[in-house]
Amino acid sequence: MISINNLHASVEGKEILRGLNLEVKPGEVHAIMGPNGSGKSTLASVLAGREDYEVTQGTVSFNGKDLLDLSPEDRAREGLFLAFQYPVEIPGVSNINFLKTAINAIREYKGEGPMEAKDFLALVKEKQKLVELDGKLAGRSVNEGFSGGEKKRNEIFQMAMLEPKLAILDETDSGLDIDALRIVANGVNKLRSPERSFIVVTHYQRLLDYIVPDVVHVLWNGRIVKSGPKELALELEEKGYDWIKAEANTVEA
Amino acid sequence: MSTATQAMTLKEQLLEKFETELPSLFGEAALRRSAAQQFEATGFPTRKWEDYKYINPDAVLKKGFGTRIAAFRDITAEDVAELSPVKDAYVFVIINGHFVPDLSFSGELPDGLTVESIADAVVSDPAAKAHYAELADSAADPFIAINTALADSGLFMHIAQDSVIERPVHFLHIATNEVSAFLQPRHLVVAETNAQAILIETFESIGPVRSFTNVLAEVVVADNAKLDHYRLQTENEAGHLLSTVQAHVSANALYNTYTFTTGGAFVRNNLNVEIAGEHAEAHLYGLYLPSGNSVVDNHTLVDHQVPNCMSNELYKGVMYDHSQAVFNGKIYVQRDAQKTNAFQNNKNILLSDDASINTKPQLEIYADDVKCSHGTSTGRMDEEALFYLRTRGIGEDNARKLLVNAFAEEVVNAVPHEELRNYIDTLIARRMGTV
Ligand SMILES: Nc1ncnc2c1ncn2[C@@H]1O[C@H](COP(=O)(O)OP(=O)(O)O)[C@@H](O)[C@H]1O
Ligand SMILES: [Mg+2]
């Protein structure tokens, strides 16, 4: 699905990602954990194509294509989706119009015609149910005046609508109460399939009780410094990150 | 045209024309003479004038505009139909500043509505006689003065007491002279007590010949009357427009103005609203999207003269290319105008490093028990929002258009007339190159 090799990225001249390697196969769920400021959101942003970040070294291959060579929109059209840590409010653009435009842009890229209005509305209804999103929100401006939880559910709703091949969830769980967490996790689980992969960035082990990962990685200081089975998340929850940092420093030294 | 005429300045040409034509012009000669003297004393505004310091009409007028109104390109009934934003409007056509009855609505107007040539009305209609040149003060602005001195055509619209006119009245202005000319249509709109109406003014220019239209409309909104007044300004690169509206709003009356500018090389709007009766209300909406080397300048003045009134103003601008825009919004709250609510907001997006905006709110408040606020903001495209849209597969160009549209919608959505709102949406889309 995606293969990241020796990725280095800087922002404002400061190197944040410092030789990151990651390989995700179709159908797999990878969790990325790590202390604040370790570069998790930077990785997500670089993969999605944010222009503030400069890739200085390394390669990313996405289903055989050079991901770093594509515009953000073409990455999305190729099947990459990023659920933002901080979803953006866009006053004046209705959720529905936004989604219709997005879906049709992706269809056009694939050489398909625009979706029929009634099929689109049926799809909206179905996917809203998936994340228990209030139908009224669809008519409102994108994320405007949404609560924190509604914004996160709206990200998952969009993901469900766009049916990506690889979804990156950047701390979709933070700020959610336990009910909202369950709804979000449930939405993700329903979308799991042998063809679809997930990279789940999280601070907390509790999300991984609901979305059970195949692999857990620890990102620290711009690198993946440890990988392991899902039990690694529990260990991190118990012991914190200091032992990992110590280990990593020893390796580096 | 003699070489002597060519060497004359526009001011000289206009004053010469005044002397020649005065005997044949409608209305009071004394009024015209004093306006001409006023104009002669000042000439056109230059950059040194506070109210014209960001744009320079004098320099614009030096591009060369004459006073000769030649035969115009044939405009057909089909052209008129095509230029009508609303299907069921009563359309009155003004070509090169002159009312053209042959192309205008010729059926029967509903009871209570009169629309006729201003030249006739000023002679025969008591309301026209009473209100003509009552509001527009020649001493206030040279463009008012020269229009008052020389206007020879235009429309009088009258809505009788208690009459509610459902279908809009449309004044369709087309500038399409064969030689570059300075055009001066003049209108008077009177909505009597309890009357209601919708007026749409559109401004088009056709063809490559330069025109400068100095249009003046006086608007009287009597007690408890309601008038929705639209100006859609869509001239081409040869079109120059100075549109003055001088409005008087009486007790319990409601006056709504909507000014949309999507074209023209030079557009200056002077919108002056006197709030003169208690519990009167005025809403001023504006949207401008200049591109190329266009200049759009909106000067508004809301003059609160009496207590318990409300005014609300929202102007938004999207600037492309090398365009330049000015927003100058004055609010006066006079000493007696207690319990005034007056709000003003101007927001702009600059889409190019070479575009510029000068925005200047001016509040002068002489009453102490009032609620007034103003705000301005000027920014760039929201890059975060743009990135967000693109990560959903929406192409960059399209994403930008979505965001510009979203910005503009706040003004467009204030338009209560659905057909007109849709038309304005297509004007904006055309402007952005989406259709
Ligand atoms: N746009 C930016 N400008 C400057 N520094 C940034 C920017 N984005 C991230 N950083 C810095 O990069 C580091 C990693 O940040 P981030 O990727 O957000 O970490 P995480 O998501 O793991 O908490 C931090 O030190 C942060 O301050
Ligand atoms: Mg983060």
Whether A207 has a pLDDT exceeding 50, the answer reads yes
What phi and psi, each to the nearest 5 degrees, are found at residue A69?
A: -90, -10
Characterize A210-245 residue by residue with b for buried, 16 or more Cβ atoms within 10 angstroms of its Cβ, and e for exposed: bbebebbbbbbbbbbbbeeebebbeebeeeebeebb
A42 CA from centroid of ligand 1 (Å): 6
For chain A, the residues whose C-beta falls within 8 A of a C-beta of chain B are 48-51, 71-73, 75-77, 81-82, 84, 87-93, 97-99, 101-103, 105-106, 109, 141-142, 158, 162
All domains in chain A, ordered by first residue = 2-90+164-252 (3.40.50.300)
Name the pLDDT band for B128 (thresholds 50, 70, 90).
Answer: very high
How many angstroms separate the CA of residue A221 from the nearest CA in chain B?
A: 25
> What is the arithmetic mean of pLDDT over B44-58?
90
Whether B226 has a pLDDT exceeding 90, the answer reads yes
pLDDT tens digits, residue range B166-215? Answer: 999 999 999 998 889 999 999 999 999 999 999 999 999 999 999 999 99
Of A142 and B4, more confident? A142
Is B409 in Cβ contact with A105 (below 8 Å)?
A: no
For residue A239, what are the β-bridge partners? none
**Residue B155 DSSP SS3:** strand
User: How distant is the alpha carbon of residue A25 from its chain centre?
Assistant: 15
Lowest mean pLDDT among A124-138, B31-45, B103-117, B351-365: A124-138
Pocket test for ligand 1, best of A16, A54, A169, A225 (most atoms within 8 A of CB): A16
For residue A220, what are the β-bridge partners? A223
Angle at A201 between CA A20 and CA A27, to 5 degrees: 85
What pLDDT does A24 receive? 97
Name the pLDDT band for A205 (thresholds 50, 70, 90).
Answer: confident
Distance CA A187, CA A190 (A): 5
Q: Of B189, B176, B173, B28, give the one whose Cα is nearest residue B116.
A: B189
Ligand nearest to the CA of A84: 2
What pLDDT does B73 receive? 67
A16 CA from centroid of ligand 1 (Å): 7
Is B396 in Cβ contact with A88 (below 8 Å)?
A: no
Whether B433 has a pLDDT exceeding 90, the answer reads no
C-beta atoms surrounding B47 within 10 Å: 12
**E strand map for B235-280:** 239-249, 254-263, 266-275
Could you say which of B384, B393, B402 has the minimum Cβ distance to residue A93?
B402
Q: Which residue has the tokens 């020893």?
A: A250
User: CB of B391 within 8 Å of any CB in chain A?
Assistant: yes
Cβ contacts of A78 on chain B, cutoff 8 Å: none
What pLDDT does B80 receive? 94
Whether A253 has a pLDDT exceeding 60, the answer reads no
What pLDDT does A30 receive? 97
Is B392 in Cβ contact with A158 (below 8 Å)?
A: yes
What pLDDT does B434 receive? 57
Mutate to test the interface with B, among A82, A98, A140 (most CBs of B within 10 A): A98
A36 CA from centroid of ligand 2 (Å): 7
pLDDT tens digits, residue range A145-203? Answer: 998 888 999 999 999 999 999 999 999 988 888 888 898 899 899 999 999 999 999 98
Whether A237 has a pLDDT exceeding 90, the answer reads no
Distance CA A198, CA B186 (A): 68
* Percent of chain B predicted with pLDDT > 70: 97
Q: Checking DSSP bridges between strand A53-62 and strand A2-11, what pairing results, if any?
A: antiparallel
Whether A252 has a pLDDT exceeding 70, the answer reads no
Lowest mean pLDDT among B52-66, B108-122, B293-307: B52-66
A135 lines ligand 1 (CB under 6 A): no
What pLDDT does B6 receive? 54
User: How distant is the alpha carbon of residue B273 from its chain centre?
Assistant: 12
Is B385 in Cβ contact with A75 (below 8 Å)?
A: no
Q: Please tell me the pTM assigned to this model.
A: 0.87
What phi and psi, each to the nearest 5 degrees, are found at residue A26?
A: -55, 135
What pLDDT does B2 receive? 46
What pLDDT does A242 receive? 86
User: CB of B434 within 8 Å of any CB in chain A?
Assistant: no
Whether B381 has a pLDDT exceeding 50, the answer reads yes
Q: How many alpha carbons fall within 13 Å on the CB side of residue A204?
A: 13
pLDDT tens digits, residue range B135-180? Answer: 999 999 999 999 999 999 999 999 999 999 999 999 999 999 888 9
Give the single-character DSSP code of B73: P
pLDDT tens digits, residue range B322-331? Answer: 999 999 999 9
Could you say which of A49, A89, A105 has the minimum Cβ distance to residue B398?
A105
Interface of B with A in 350-389 (CB under 8 A): 382, 384-385, 387-389
Distance CA B259, CA B286 (A): 5
Averaged pLDDT score across all residues of chain B:
94
* Edge-to-edge strand list for the sheet holding B226-234: B98-99, B90-95, B169-175, B196-205, B226-234, B254-263, B281-288, B310-319, B341-350, B371-379
Give the single-character DSSP code of A196: B
Name the pLDDT band for A240 (thresholds 50, 70, 90).
Answer: confident
What pLDDT does B3 receive? 47
pLDDT tens digits, residue range B383-400? Answer: 999 999 999 999 999 999
What pLDDT does A63 receive? 96
What pLDDT does A247 receive? 81
What pLDDT does B361 receive? 94
pLDDT tens digits, residue range A26-76? Answer: 999 999 999 999 999 999 999 999 999 999 999 999 999 999 999 999 999
A39 lines ligand 1 (CB under 6 A): yes
A16 lines ligand 1 (CB under 6 A): yes
A50 CA from centroid of ligand 1 (Å): 13
A152 lines ligand 1 (CB under 6 A): no
Handedness of CA B420, B421, B426, B428 (dihedral sign): positive
Q: Do A218 and A34 contact (CB within 8 A), yes or no?
A: yes
Averaged pLDDT score across all residues of chain A:
92
Name the pLDDT band for B1 (thresholds 50, 70, 90).
Answer: very low
